[in-house]
Amino acid sequence: MNKKYLAAAAICLMPLAACGHKTDAADNVVSAADNTADAMDANASALRDEGRAMAGNMQGAMDNTADALNNKADAIRAAGENKADRMDADRMEKATR
């Protein structure tokens, strides 16, 4: 939606830039519009950078959570193997009695 407004503003300002302004007031309007647009571009860039940083931080957190789940899964597998080994050992012990 913001892109639509920026495009509309640019289209409205193009005729002003093309005709070569005859008054200082008109030049001031164009200058103010340029300054505002530059600030908006800088804010948009900062938002994109912040979004990338947030995504990077979120990705790191998700990776840590996934690693923790993998570690828990490995521990459960190992516990299952250990229990199965104990069951086999108990069965062999009972069979040899």
Overall domain count for the chain? 1
Higher pLDDT, 21 or 76: 76
Q: What is the pLDDT of residues 41-67, one digit of tens each?
A: 999 888 888 888 888 788 788 889 999
Q: What residues make up the domain containing 22? A: 2-95
DSSP state of 71: H
Q: What is the pLDDT of residues 78-96, one digit of tens each?
A: 999 999 999 998 888 888 8
pTM above the 0.85 mark?
no
CB burial of 44-79 (b: ≥16 within 10 Å; e: otherwise) equals eeeeeeeeeeeeeeeeeeeeeeeeeeeeeeeeeeee
